[in-house]
Amino acid sequence: MSKKTIIVCDHIHKLGLDKLSSLEDVHYINISDDKENLYAHIKKANVVITRSSTPVDEKFLQEADNLESIVRAGVGIDNIDVDACTKRGVVVMNVPTANTIAAVELTLCHLTSCARAFPYAHNAFKNDRIWKREDWYGSELKDKQLGVIGFGNIGSKVAIRAKAFDMKVVVYDPYIDSKKVNDVNMIYTDNFNDIIKSDIITIHTPKNEETIDMISKKEIEQMKDGVILINCARGGLYNEDDLYDALKSGKVRFAGMDVFNEEPSINNKLLDLDNVIATPHLGANTKESQKNISLDAVNQAILAVRGISYENAFNMAVNVNDIDEDLNAYPSFVQKMAFLCTEFGKENIKKIELGTFGDVSKLSESLLACACVGAIRHNHEHINYVNYEIVAKELGIELTSNTEIKKHSHYNEVSVRITFASRTVSILGTTIGDNIEHIISIDDYVLDFEPKGKVIFFKNSNVLGVVGEFGTFLGNEGININDLAIGMKEGSALAAINVDTKVSKEALEKLKKLEACISVRYIEL
């Protein structure tokens, strides 16, 4: 089988490029400095990594004959025609959390700078050498009301940090459970007028038909005199013309702006005002976030090109941006579990069963689609979340779901059970903490490990000294163990060993010759 190709269209951090260069099973091309030949290159692409400077439109898609998925190395997907991608069966993913802390901290910079006019005081003193303290009376944040619009990854963290300033935080987000806000000692409101009464307002929503011009003349007129407005999310959430008028009149005392309707925005009239603190879209501009974005985008591209999973996909069977935050890892996780089942089975599939317990059960129909794609993708590369039922029927695969599986010890649990020609493989999983994936059972071997990276699955007779013998062998091969989980059953054991080095075929053959070995598999997730 020929190698598949990942193409990087725009500049990403070198760490991500280095990882792509190290792959043996994937061909990688970096065209970030050769955009003039974009269309010639993307004909070869199975997966594309973009940023904001490459428009993925009809022309792009027409030229990209072999394209299966796109990873947008960043939060927004404004440059991608998602509907056109969906029609062609191209999965669109983004990297929603890699720059979270950078965006959160920049928002707080704008918030404090507006409250105290720091940049203007700095310029007057340092650049103009004017010492006039009476010109720079600011406002304390303590006891002020902060209105937070949008309580997702960024908005929630801004709100939590604002509490450290002893601010009163009021949150408006009609798409979340109010308990998430109330549980962290903040006030939830479903009345937008409660936000408008705030001393400072910061917005953290995506840009769509519902949120464009969310703050305009009508809303500003109802605000307190001297309100401060912050936008480090997306340009266009505030109506810039109305904001300009309000800033000139003094109705809005200060605005902190990192994003604008049109960018680059060097001729924006807001920049002419002396009560606007502006930065050139720096939300993701930290060394740490650029590394995170690059590595996350590359990892997603690798999983996609191998057909393992599609993390943070917009046009999957379920859009992770439309479901509860504590459930949004499950679509990709279930696909990964199904893929892992097929790595154990390696035979024709007869039946795919999805089981759920807890709140995740409301996603069961969509998760069944994810399981089907994950199981079949390795030998039917054109399957997607639109045609999965047709493909499964053509292959004679039965699809079923059950929302009453036996609960183990976690609130949300999902099982994928695949029946092959001569055996059945079953995997049970859950997420823990901050959506960390955990597999807690494989074929009734109860164990607990995080399914990522390079993993050896070693099944052995339960005899004395096996673990030591196995560890000694890996040490002699120069393979370091990062983590180890063992499950026991009826005189045998199954170990999942996370290692940091690729395991050669020769090493696997040697492992099979260990006296206690029943089976061994090496899988990259």
Whether residue 313 is predicted with pLDDT greater than 90 in this model: the reply is no
The whole-number average pLDDT for the span 500-510 is 87
Higher pLDDT, 214 or 387: 214
Q: Please, what is the Cα angle at 508 between 506 and 509, to 5 degrees?
A: 65
pLDDT band at residue 409, thresholds of 50, 70 and 90? Answer: low
For the chain, what percent of residues have pLDDT higher than 70? 96
The whole-number average pLDDT for the span 72-94 is 83
* Predicted TM-score of the model (pTM): 0.65
Q: Count the alpha carbons within 13 Å of 291 in the hemisphere toward its beta carbon.
A: 5
Whether residue 380 is predicted with pLDDT greater than 70 in this model: the reply is no
The whole-number average pLDDT for the span 163-172 is 97
pLDDT band at residue 110, thresholds of 50, 70 and 90? Answer: very high
Higher pLDDT, 508 or 116: 116
Cα 202 to the chain's mean position, in Å?
Answer: 23
pLDDT band at residue 320, thresholds of 50, 70 and 90? Answer: low
User: What was the pLDDT predicted at 324?
Assistant: 76
Task: Give whole-number Cα distances, 99 to 131, 153, 154, 245, in Å.
Answer: 38, 10, 9, 32
User: What was the pLDDT predicted at 378?
Assistant: 66
Strand ranges in 90-249 using DSSP code E only, listed in sequence order:
91-94, 145-149, 168-172, 187-189, 200-203, 227-231
Tens digit of pLDDT for each residue in 417-427?
Answer: 999 988 999 99
Higher pLDDT, 144 or 346: 144
Mean pLDDT of the chain: 90
User: What was the pLDDT predicted at 476?
Assistant: 87
User: What was the pLDDT predicted at 516?
Assistant: 87
User: What was the pLDDT predicted at 490?
Assistant: 84
The whole-number average pLDDT for the span 488-507 is 89
Strand ranges in 204-270 using DSSP code E only, listed in sequence order:
227-231, 252-257
Task: Give whole-number Cα distances, 89 to 82, 316, 347, 392, 438, in Å.
Answer: 10, 10, 26, 16, 29
Active-site positions read 234, 263, 281
> Could you tell me the domains of the chain?
1-98+285-315 (3.40.50.720), 100-278 (3.40.50.720), 325-443 (3.30.1330.90), 453-524 (3.30.70.260)
